[in-house]
Every structure is written in C-alpha cells, then in structure tokens.
Amino acid sequence: MLLGPALLAPAWGKPPLNPWPELPDPPGAGLLAHPDPGQFPGRPPPPPLPGVGNFERLPAIDETTPVVLAVRKTPYWKAGTYDPVLSNACALGYFETAAFNRLVVQFTAPGGGAALQVVPPAYRHLLYDARHLARPDETYFFKNSNEANCAVWIEGKVPPRSLQPGRGTFLPKQKPGDLAREKTMIGAWPKK
C-alpha cells in the first residue's frame, strides 16, 4: 500500500480549529477623529456601540442604586426586635428577601452604621417565606440576607417568635417487651 504525501503530512502542520471565531471590530475602530468638546485633544472618541458584542453571554448584573427609605442615627441592632427564629430561618434559606431588593434603611451611628434591606407590608412580593412565618403588618429588616450569617429584626416592640418543642415522634410506638427483645437480640450477636 502506497501512502501519498497528503497522508504523510504531520498533524501539527495546520493550526487547530477555533470553535469561538474572532468577532469583527466595531465600525470606525482604529480611525482617529476630531475630539468632541470635553475630551482630551488627540484622544479618539469612544466607538459607537454596534449592538451585541463580546459580553453577550454574561449574566445580567443589577446595578441599580438603592432606594433609601429612611436614615436613622441609631445603631443597626436597634432597628427593632431581634428575632432568633426568623434569623435561623433566614440562615437556612426559608425566610429571606429577594436578592434584587433595593429598599434599604441607613443606620449612621458611630460603630453601628449599616444599610439594612427592608420588606414593608406593602412589598411582600420581595419576601421569600417558605414556612409562612411572616405576620401581617410587620416590617422586616435584613442584614446579610441570602447568607449563612443572616439576621432579622422586626420593627417595633413585638414579642419574638419562640421555637416550638417537638410534638411526638416519627418512630413507631414501643410495645411492652420490645426493649427486652432488642437486648436479647443484641446479646446474641457474635463477639470478637
């Protein structure tokens, strides 16, 4: 069998195919134009945006400015009544505000300044409440929402929720003599 020159050519002779072809330059790239008033002389104006470019597949980033509902001169931990049950549920992801919530209250006390996300009663659509822990007419303040160290305060002097003790068990009910049977069964196991 004879091998022709095309079959003997080394595999590294051609560059590999690029699955992501280079995108063309935008119109007017590389051309110098007269600067607009307010630009430095000799610096070209920014090119016009031709449409979708290299960053078309990146996720959208919400960079809207926060809506400051109030500015308070107290430390943030005095926003209201700290609720350990809601804070625990927030840390577990069962009670949290939406990541795009931009409603904040600023606390400007020295040593206690922060901006807490707020969910007033009229904006319950910004609240994720999988366990139905929210009460009507309560305003919630969130610090580090969507994180493991989340903390929640309720506005005003309201009693915090308390953890309910467990009611019963999911284990099958014990019958008389079950414990003695288990002990004899364990005692019958082979010993080393």
Residue-wise pLDDT tens digits, 133-192:
898 889 999 999 888 899 999 998 887 777 666 566 556 667 788 888 888 888 888 887
Terminal alpha carbon distance of the chain: 71
**C-alpha dist (Å) from residue 37 to 31, 41, 44, 45, 47:** 18, 9, 12, 10, 16
- What are the distances in angstroms from CA 188 to CA 34, 144, 178? 97, 55, 15
Report the amino acid identity of residue 118. V
Per-residue pLDDT reduced to its tens digit, 43-66:
555 555 555 555 555 555 566 788
Kindly list the distances between the CA atom of residue 117 and the CA atoms of 161, 178, 191, in Å, as whole numbers in the listed order.
20, 54, 61
Cα–Cα distance, 138 to 154 (Å, whole number)? 7
> Which residues does 75 contact at the CB level (< 8 Å), separation at least 6?
107, 109, 111, 112, 113
pLDDT value at position 105?
Answer: 93
Question: Encoding tokens for residue 161?
Answer: 């929720």
Q: What is the mean pLDDT of residues 64-85?
A: 90
Yes or no: say if 79 and 141 are a contact pair by the CB < 8 Å rule: yes
**Joined tokens for residue 184:** 């004899």
pLDDT of residue 24: 72
pTM above the 0.75 mark?
no
Res. 123: pLDDT tops 60 = yes
Torsion of CA 67, 70, 76, 79, to 10 degrees: -110
CA atoms within 13 A of residue 15's CA, in its CB half-sphere: 3
The mean predicted confidence, pLDDT, of the chain is 77
Q: Kind and range of the H or E element at 15? A: none
Top pLDDT among 67 and 15 is at: 67
